[in-house]
Amino acid sequence: MESFRSEIENPIVARDIIDLEKKISLFYDGEIDEARFRSLRLARGVYGQRQFGVQMVRIKLPYGKLTSEQLHRVANVSDEYSRGRLHITTRQDIQIHHVSLDRTPELWAELEKDDITLREACGNAVRNVTASETAGIDKDEPFDVSPYAHAIFEFFLRNPICQELGRKFKISFSGTDKDTALSFMHDLGFIAKIKNGEIGFKIMIGGGLGSQAILADVLFEFVAADKIIPITEAVLRVFDRFGERSKRAKARLKFLIKDIGFDAFVKLVEEEQKALSVTSFPIDTASFDAEIDLSHVKIPSVKIEDIKAFELWKSTNVIEQKQEGLSAIGIKVHLGDFYTDKARILADLVKKYAGNEIRLSLRQNILIRHVKNELLPFFYVELQKLGFDDAGYESTLDITSCPGTDTCNLGIASSTGVSAELERVLKSEFPQFANNKEITIKISGCMNSCGQHTMAHIGFQGMSINSGNYVAPALQVLLGGSVLGNGAGRFADKVLKIPSKRGPQALRSILSNYEANVCIGESFINYYERQGEKYFYDLLKPLSDTTNLEQSDFIDWGSNEAYDKAVGVGECAGVVIDLIATLLFESEEKLENASGSLINNQYSDSIYYAYSSIVNTAKALLISEGKKTNTHVGIITQFEEVFASEIELNVPFSDFIYQIKNNEPTKEFAEKYLTDAQLFYKKVDVYRANIINDEK
């Protein structure tokens, strides 16, 4: 373990990784309970798997960007600490599975050698910032959104205002009005705009998928680019303070906005302006504006064996860039899974013959950027050797799927197994859809919609279905979802539930019916709306009959054993200790962080750490009295009611703590607020010690 400590150049990163190592030891020794340890490791990209004793590690890759060097690093880490398989997610991350918890600090340290992080890839924090994979090369874009996505990623990484939110927070950047980064389903979605010559964004807020999908509202039709970070900070501050924390299913931003009302939420955001760390944050785009130098690239001579296949591939997988003479090449990655041997070859190809950059797509694919048009035959031949030449990049034939019951704790039915079968059906029976970029098919293994089935034209959700005394794997069929553009979207209708083994027949029926009855020029969505949900319910109704199930229907896709609906938290239970003591211990850590930030002149950070310590300390006392602690606002109100006469502060507790929103983040206020927080902690510590002594 000692070796990685000395090899990490960034002291902040080194401290973070060493802290993870220490917390793992404390957890094993029973000094940190399972719930608190889970929160800590999730914020460091370490997620429990369905399989006992191993972890999934999620690698955070802002807007899906990877250089050759970084891809080599990820491949090396996967071989050393896992099984050599890389999984691309629908948030442009890479996941590796079956990692020992003990080795996660070493793994993280290895990744950081090429500036790759795990920090906040999971957990109740700002997740990976996604963006259109064609950002920077799209002919229709007003400007490249990549530097703005990168700035948001950097500003909120390790930022104290978003380390312990009530729930995860997702941000996206769409390069054009086509909204390819799906702003309508994000907590905050940014769409590139230029108004009167000024670069800026339309901002969508409060969207989300899951069991209760909600379309985002328009927060601003246009804001200048230098305002997006202050606005995001204000939104996060409000979400942190008012967001639900106890009822996980109601803890997303979309529910907070729904509960208090959009106008009330906007007012709260406006009230945070005085406390913001910055009121303007100009974003430097210089490093993204430089021209791509491909002068070193030679054009090898190759022979194409099948010209027809090559032309089909070009028509479906090659995107002409706005940079003259260059194209991007889409690689269709089946189920988002590829292996390290191929990853290394691909990394060498993009370094030697392209712009040394790939982007992972929201549909779990790979986009090679900055390829000379003269090199397309060469790349086709080389990708063919890797099995990366399948036509139909991001077409109907290209199904999006979450891992489902393969590794996920919450998976109800196999999503990867049925995806593989549906792709086989499409390739053999509906090859004409290789050129169809309109109809999307997406599959999730449960209601959480990690496969984004809720917004698909044709979606499937893993479920179970009863037949007498037996339970079979099933699929909910959803139809009619769509990205409408410019922040608008449509969620799919839940048509009916069928046994999972009938999924292929359902797809055949839907596509055959569409081909037989669609009008010339009519889109799938318009066709679906014309026919209506009842029409498709009647079409598929025979497939929902459970009175005639066969033995094979009780075996899920990709399995040889009888179906077992096993859903749960899935993560091993640790030793349960005093939660109140744990919270107070964390309050001390937050005070230490506040002091460190103050020394480094990071006044806004220091103030927020002090605020978090005060809330945490108040929460500990309320829990000791059996009170609810669902939100920060609730904690503050209740503490004032219950402990006003016990903890003397000279002012009401609400006035004491809400100094944070009534003062600018100056050095003087940061020093005063930290002193107040330290004094409050001491008073509570003395009070608790007296209570414990009285109980003895």
Q: Which overall architecture, per CATH, does domain 579-695 show?
A: Up-down Bundle (1.20)
Homologous superfamily of 130-286 in CATH?
Answer: Sulfite Reductase Hemoprotein, domain 1 (3.30.413.10)
Task: Write down the pLDDT at residue 3.
Answer: 52
Residue 559 pLDDT level (bands cut at 50, 70, 90): confident
Strand 493-499 versus strand 366-372 pairing type: unpaired
Task: Write down the pLDDT at residue 696.
Answer: 47
Do the first three CATH levels of 400-554 and 579-695 match, i.e. the same topology? no
Task: Write down the pLDDT at residue 578.
Answer: 55
With 90 as the cut, is the pLDDT of residue 48 above it? no
Q: Are 466 and 437 in contact (CB under 8 A)?
A: no
With 50 as the cut, is the pLDDT of residue 569 above it? no
Rounded distance between C-alpha atoms, residue 518 and residue 521, angstroms: 8
Quote the mean pLDDT of the chain: 92
Sign for the CA dihedral angle at 170, 176, 179, 180 comes to: negative
Q: Which of 468-482, 558-572, 603-617 has the weakest average pLDDT?
A: 558-572
Of 219 and 628, more confident: 219
Q: Write out the H or E segment, with its range, that includes residue 527.
A: helix 524-531
Q: Which of 43-57, 149-163, 359-373 has the weakest average pLDDT?
A: 43-57
Task: Write down the pLDDT at residue 7.
Answer: 62
User: Which residues lie below 8 Å from residue 167, measured CB to CB, with a gap of 6+?
Assistant: 124, 243, 244, 248, 251, 252, 253
Task: Write down the pLDDT at residue 310.
Answer: 97
> Region 385-411: what's the mean pLDDT?
88
User: Which residues lie below 8 Å from residue 189, measured CB to CB, with a gap of 6+?
Assistant: 171, 172, 173, 174, 179, 181, 182, 183, 203, 204, 205, 207, 216, 487
Rounded distance between C-alpha atoms, residue 127 and residue 124, angstroms: 8
Task: Write down the pLDDT at residue 223.
Answer: 98
Buried b (16+ CB within 10 A) or exposed e, 407-416: bbbbbbbbbb
- Phi and psi at 98, nearest 5°, equal 60, 45
Task: Write down the pLDDT at residue 1.
Answer: 43
User: Which residues lie below 8 Å from residue 412, measured CB to CB, with a gap of 6+?
Assistant: 405, 445, 446, 462, 463, 464, 473, 565, 567
Task: Write down the pLDDT at residue 309.
Answer: 96
Residue 470: other Cβ atoms inside 10 A: 13
- Beta pairing partners, 182: none
With 50 as the cut, is the pLDDT of residue 577 above it? no
Q: Which of 451-465, 574-588, 630-644 has the weakest average pLDDT?
A: 574-588
Rounded distance between C-alpha atoms, residue 631 and residue 576, angstroms: 23
| Predicted confidence (pLDDT) per residue in 81-131, tens digit | 999 999 999 999 999 999 999 999 999 999 999 999 999 999 999 999 999
CATH of the domain spanning 400-554: 3.30.413.10
Task: Write down the pLDDT at residue 192.
Answer: 98
Task: Write down the pLDDT at residue 10.
Answer: 82
**Lookup: tokens for 502:** 């009938």
Task: Write down the pLDDT at residue 575.
Answer: 30
Task: Write down the pLDDT at residue 583.
Answer: 82
Rounded distance between C-alpha atoms, residue 44 and residue 350, angstroms: 30
Q: Which overall architecture, per CATH, does domain 2-112 show?
A: Alpha-Beta Complex (3.90)
Residue 446 pLDDT level (bands cut at 50, 70, 90): confident
Task: Write down the pLDDT at residue 622.
Answer: 93
What is this structure's pTM?
0.93
Of 80 and 249, more confident: 80
For residue 556, the 8-state DSSP code is -
| Predicted confidence (pLDDT) per residue in 516-531, tens digit | 999 999 999 999 999 9
Tell me, rounded to whole angstroms, the distance of Cα 81 from its chain centroid. 23
Strand 441-444 versus strand 400-401 pairing type: parallel
Task: Write down the pLDDT at residue 36.
Answer: 78
Task: Write down the pLDDT at residue 11.
Answer: 87
Q: Which of 233-242, 276-285, 413-422, 673-682 has the weakest average pLDDT?
A: 413-422
| Predicted confidence (pLDDT) per residue in 184-208, tens digit | 999 999 999 999 999 999 999 999 9
Q: Which of 12-21, 213-222, 264-273 has the weakest average pLDDT?
A: 12-21
Task: Write down the pLDDT at residue 248.
Answer: 82
Percent of the chain with pLDDT over 70: 96
Task: Write down the pLDDT at residue 35.
Answer: 75
Task: Write down the pLDDT at residue 406.
Answer: 72
With 60 as the cut, is the pLDDT of residue 568 above it? no
User: What is the identity of the amino acid at 294?
Assistant: L
> Region 338-348: what's the mean pLDDT?
98
Buried b (16+ CB within 10 A) or exposed e, 537-571: eebbeebbebeebeeebbbbbbeeeebeeeeeebb
With 70 as the cut, is the pLDDT of residue 5 above it? no
Rounded distance between C-alpha atoms, residue 533 and residue 538, angstroms: 9
Sign for the CA dihedral angle at 3, 7, 11, 14 comes to: negative
**The CATH number of domain 307-386, selected from 3.30.70.3340, 3.30.540.10, 2.60.40.680, 1.10.30.50:** 3.30.70.3340
Task: Write down the pLDDT at residue 407.
Answer: 73
3-state secondary structure of 601: coil
Q: Where do the domains of the chain lie? A: 2-112, 130-286, 307-386, 400-554, 579-695
> Region 425-454: what's the mean pLDDT?
93
> Region 315-322: what's the mean pLDDT?
98
Task: Write down the pLDDT at residue 576.
Answer: 31
Q: Write out the H or E segment, with its range, that includes residue 338.
A: strand 337-339
